[in-house]
Amino acid sequence: MLSYEESLKILKETKALIDGHFILSSGLHSSKYVQCAQLLCKPEKASLICNSLAEKIKSSFKDFDLILSPAMGGVIIGYDIGRILNKETIFSERVNGEFKLRRDFLIQKNNKVLIIEDVITTGKSSLECSKLVSSAGAKIVGYACIIDRSKGESVIKDKIVSQIKLDIPTYTKDNLPENLSSIKAVKPGSRNL
């Protein structure tokens, strides 16, 4: 498994961790943004991260049937982890602002489901996915992500396994530090399109 330092180095080399003033999908502001798409477009580096995360998942979640990922951010990671662990992998998509299963994807009753994302900050997308699992009569075994930046404050109360935890401060619009308020904010997240 990759160490924290090795994982951080890969994120920086691939420009998956960038500096600036960002408005996150949650509406919070941050001086750093994690753009996992930059990591995932470099397969040799992404493979190192996903293989390491797969090892952590195997250690933490002994028995599950299905991987569910929220589109867009979790699709590639979910697929790659599913390939490594030989697990069926599906994804949800937003339809009129809500996650739905499309493309004839199905969660069977009593399936044990692992939800995989690229980044967990508030846990909102993962929690939205969990509703799909519950409504199918299936069970969530836990959550996994490349980067956990929730600082333990996620709405997710179950176990989160991550490749790396980053403690990146976030701020409300009304409580910005001076170094951020002087920089134009950008909204790079998928919910901001």
105 closest CA partner among 70, 139, 61: 70
In the chain, where the domains are located:
4-192
Q: What is the pLDDT of residue 112?
A: 95
Mean pLDDT for 42-51 is: 94
| Fold for the domain defined by 4-192 | Rossmann fold (3.40.50)
Name 110's Cβ contacts closer than 8 Å, sequence gap at least 6: 137, 138, 139
Q: What is the pLDDT of residue 46?
A: 93
Residues in the chain: 193
What is the C-alpha to C-alpha distance for residues 180 and 72, in angstroms, rounded to an integer?
27
pLDDT digits (tens, 9 = 90+) for 123-163: 788 888 889 999 999 999 999 999 988 877 777 777 889 99
What is the predicted pLDDT for the residue at 151?
Answer: 74
pTM exceeding the 0.85 threshold for the entire prediction:
no
Contact yes or no for 49/7 (Cβ under 8 A): yes
How far is residue 140's CA from residue 142's CA, in Å, rounded to a whole number? 6
pLDDT digits (tens, 9 = 90+) for 86-132: 999 999 988 888 888 899 999 999 999 999 999 887 778 888 888 99
Please provide the average confidence, as pLDDT, over all residues in the chain. 89
pLDDT for position 190? 55
7 vs 16: CA distance, rounded Å: 11
Q: What is the mean pLDDT of residues 161-169?
A: 91
Residue 1 pLDDT more than 80?
yes
